[in-house]
């Protein structure tokens, strides 16, 4: 799995976990001696369509998810500006090697020895790609 995929999954997966219903679902135990449970037929046109998720992927608020994770983390991480802190926030490897691999994945054409320039570029690219993948990302994080 690519590093960007891990970043995206960590954010979008956290959003899905936050939006999951908190109330327990009731289950109906099978009737004793009954081999199958029957139900009333579904209204026409709904039997084959799956239930929509509470929030479509296009509505994942990346900023809200990351802010929530940062509040739970207990350490000060400047994920809004730092790719290293963003990766740490998501419990991903933020080493120079990992960032160089991410740069290669995202087609960075600059000098990977200039880690400061690469890190700035990586942060902007990750935020832009999260937006392109269906995340809601404020403009100030993409630019």
Please tell me the predicted confidence (pLDDT) of residue 142.
Answer: 84
Cβ-contact 105, 4 below 8 angstroms: yes
Q: Is the residue at 50 inside a domain?
A: no
Q: How many angstroms separate the CA atoms of 62 and 8, rounded?
A: 10
Count of structural domains within the chain = 1
The segments of the chain whose pLDDT lies below 70 read 15-58
Residue 43 lies in a domain: no
For residue 79, which of 7, 5, 3 has the smallest C-alpha distance? 7
Domain range for residue 72?
A: 57-143
Is 78 part of any domain? Answer: yes
Tell me, yes or no, whether 139 lies in a domain: yes
What pLDDT digit, counting tens, does each position of 79-97 carry? 999 999 999 999 999 999 9
Task: Tell whether 100 is covered by a domain.
Answer: yes
Q: Is residue 90 part of a domain?
A: yes
pLDDT for 19 equals 59
The confidence score (pLDDT) of residue 74 equals: 85
pLDDT at 64: 96
Q: What is the pLDDT of residue 50?
A: 46
Is residue 9 a part of any domain in this protein? no
* Interatomic CA distance for residues 137 and 74, integer angstroms: 23
Residue 14 has a pLDDT of 74
- Residue 92 counted as domain residue: yes
């Amino acid at each position: 799995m690519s590093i960007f995929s891990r970043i995206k999954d960590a954010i979008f997966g956290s959003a899905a976990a936050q939006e999951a219903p908190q109330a327990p679902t009731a289950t109906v135990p099978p009737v004793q001696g009954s081999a199958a449970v029957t139900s009333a037929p579904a209204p026409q046109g709904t039997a084959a369509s799956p239930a929509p998720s509470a929030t479509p992927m296009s509505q994942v608020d990346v900023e809200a998810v990351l802010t929530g994770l940062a509040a739970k983390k207990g350490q000060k991480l400047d994920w809004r500006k730092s790719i290293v802190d963003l990766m740490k926030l998501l419990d991903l490897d933020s080493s120079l090697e990992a960032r160089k691999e991410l740069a290669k994945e995202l087609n960075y054409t600059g000098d990977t020895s200039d880690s400061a320039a690469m890190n700035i570029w990586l942060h902007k690219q990750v935020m832009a790609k999260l937006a392109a993948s269906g995340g809601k990302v404020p403009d100030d994080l993409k630019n």
